[in-house]
């Protein structure tokens, strides 16, 4: 992904690399990439202006059937050679336009992220928002699931899972990771080391900047690969490529990956801690002489995140499964507080480096099921509201939150316990998102309605397998 690439550069690259097909990609509303492909001979400079038509009514959360025509317009700066296509293929991420007005489509997640960056510049507060997500995921060897009127189940398996310590494997060689002990012993206990290294190598070849990879806390192949921070839209683009690479490298090794926040009962879930910093004219704005080496602007930014945490999670934790990770009493960051070191607080200030350039805020609530374009944009808008309104985050919470007396613990607010609650908060608290027309009213209304009908109510209507264990003999 070359920032200064133009249409001529893309055509030149395609010719030099013997590209046969062009894959046009964009993000749907909930957060899955979509694509279609054309022969390379059909690619021209004019296509980067005129775009290509497609049916927007078939994309989740988008147009109605009576207004289905839309345009995809490729962004030349995102050109990346597909590392998995047998026939040489070039990937281009696209923006979505209305074919009549040629305006960017309000529900295109990439457009929302782009508008958030433009709004940041318009405030004069900063010109760049850097994001560094730590997306965790599980590498499984088998996944089966189903839901019918007469049954509902899932079955997960992994060679390194502790539940297979007694399985006949002819031979079973042991080294199964016990629950919550995956962070992070060396091989052979870490059975996914080579697979993660292969994922990282493909990412490096694709132009992603990777800082490290390691096993995570849970048994059964929980992993983390960290991308070096980048500006908001660029990072959202990179995170979509990151997921694409991880899933496909796993598949060609006969493994399967999920970014579900909580696929396992009784062990850690997968989060996506987001490191955020604002810069202006090449200088970091979050370093100062306040608490934990922060500036006043950074504290106000935290104030905004905490003030809007209840509605913000509707975008950063947008699945019903998300709230099976955000459970009080565990390591999950459910407490609406901030701290220099406390990992159960929503906001943490990493203290690894004294450099002003490294000073950042870590928003620990998000998980990797989110649509990164919309989640990053929402985080930025909440933080900016904190700066604009000088929202005081209050006193830091540096005590051990697990050992607080009940009366003191009860005073610390916590994030919503379900997606339905989060959507209710979003309905009441969203003015900070609509500034600069970043999140339009139709985006917010559609998001709330889609999530309620397609996910919250859909899950509520279905009997849970554990209910049969609890209630069948009543």
Give catalytic residue positions.
55, 134, 136, 216, 224, 273, 343, 362, 364
Beta strands per DSSP E along 14-171: 21-27, 33-39, 52-55, 69-74, 80-81, 89-97, 128-140, 142-148, 151-157
Find the helix or strand (DSSP H, E) in which 347 lies: strand 345-348
Q: Which residues contact 444 (CB under 8 A, 6 or more apart)?
A: 426, 427, 430, 433, 434
Alpha carbon distance 388, 125 (integer Å) = 9
Instruction: Indicate the DSSP class of residue 185.
Output: P
Instruction: Indicate the DSSP class of residue 4.
Output: T
Cα 14 versus chain centre, distance: 30
* Strand pairing report for 128-140 and 256-258: antiparallel
Answer whether 310's CB lies under 8 Å from 416's CB: yes
Answer whether 182's CB lies under 8 Å from 215's CB: yes
Q: Evaluate the omega torsion of the peptide bond into residue 171 and state whether it is cis, within 30 degrees of 0.
A: yes
* Helix segments in 285-391, DSSP class H: 296-307, 309-316, 372-388
Q: Which two tokens stand for residue 217?
A: 């806390």
Neighbouring C-alpha atoms within 13 Å toward the C-beta of 104: 18
Going by C-alpha positions, the residue among 135, 130, 312, 305 that lies closest to residue 235 is 130
- 131 forms beta bridges with 230, 276
Alpha carbon distance 116, 120 (integer Å) = 6
> Would the CA dihedral through 343, 407, 321, 428 be positive or negative?
negative
Q: Which two tokens stand for residue 8?
A: 């001529």
- 92 forms beta bridges with 24
Q: Which residues contact 161 (CB under 8 A, 6 or more apart)?
A: 176, 177, 219, 220, 221
Beta strands per DSSP E along 205-331: 210-215, 222-227, 230-231, 256-258, 272-280, 283-284
């Amino acid at each position: 992904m070359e920032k200064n690439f133009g249409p001529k550069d893309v055509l030149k690259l395609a010719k030099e690399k013997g590209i046969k097909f062009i894959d046009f990609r964009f993000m749907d509303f909930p957060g899955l990439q979509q694509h279609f492909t054309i022969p390379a001979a059909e690619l021209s400079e004019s296509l980067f202006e005129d775009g290509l038509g497609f049916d927007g009514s078939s994309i989740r959360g988008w147009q109605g059937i009576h207004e289905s025509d839309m345009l995809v317009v490729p962004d030349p700066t995102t050109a990346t050679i597909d590392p998995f296509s047998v026939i040489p293929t070039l990937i281009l991420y696209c923006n979505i336009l209305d074919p009549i007005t040629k305006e960017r489509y309000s529900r295109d997640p990439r457009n929302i992220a782009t508008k958030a960056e433009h709004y940041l510049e318009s405030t004069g507060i900063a010109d760049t928002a850097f994001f560094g997500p730590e997306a965790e995921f599980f590498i499984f060897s088998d996944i089966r699931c189903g839901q019918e009127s007469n049954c509902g189940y899932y079955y997960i398996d992994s060679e390194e899972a502790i539940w297979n310590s007694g399985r006949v494997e002819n031979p079973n060689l042991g080294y199964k990771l016990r629950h919550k002990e995956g962070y992070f012993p060396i091989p052979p206990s870490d059975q996914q080391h080579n697979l993660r290294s292969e994922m990282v190598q493909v990412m490096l070849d694709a132009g992603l900047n990777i800082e490290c990879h390691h096993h995570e806390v849970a048994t059964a192949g929980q992993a983390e690969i960290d991308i070096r921070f980048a500006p908001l839209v660029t990072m959202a683009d990179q995170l979509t490529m990151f997921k694409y690479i991880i899933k496909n490298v796993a598949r060609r090794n006969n493994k399967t990956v999920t970014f579900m926040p909580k696929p396992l009962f009784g062990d850690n879930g997968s989060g996506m801690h987001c490191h955020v910093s604002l810069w202006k004219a090449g200088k970091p704005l979050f370093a100062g002489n306040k608490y934990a080496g922060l500036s006043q602007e950074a504290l106000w930014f935290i104030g905004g995140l905490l003030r809007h945490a209840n509605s913000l999670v509707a975008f950063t934790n947008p699945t019903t499964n998300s709230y099976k990770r955000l459970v009080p009493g565990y390591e999950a960051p459910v407490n609406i507080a901030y701290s220099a070191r406390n990992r159960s607080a929503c906001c943490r200030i990493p203290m690894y480096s004294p450099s002003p350039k490294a000073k950042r805020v870590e928003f620990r609530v998000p998980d990797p099921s989110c649509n990164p374009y919309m989640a990053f944009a929402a985080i930025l808008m909440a933080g900016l509201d904190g700066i604009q309104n000088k929202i005081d985050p209050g006193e830091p919470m540096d005590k051990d939150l697990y050992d607080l007396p009940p009366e003191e613990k009860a005073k610390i607010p916590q994030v919503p316990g379900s997606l339905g609650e989060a959507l209710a908060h979003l309905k009441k608290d969203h003015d900070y998102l609509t500034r600069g027309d970043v999140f339009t009213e139709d985006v917010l209304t559609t998001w709330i309605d889609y999530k309620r009908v397609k996910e919250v109510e859909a899950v509520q209507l279905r009997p849970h397998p554990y209910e049969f264990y609890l209630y069948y003999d009543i």
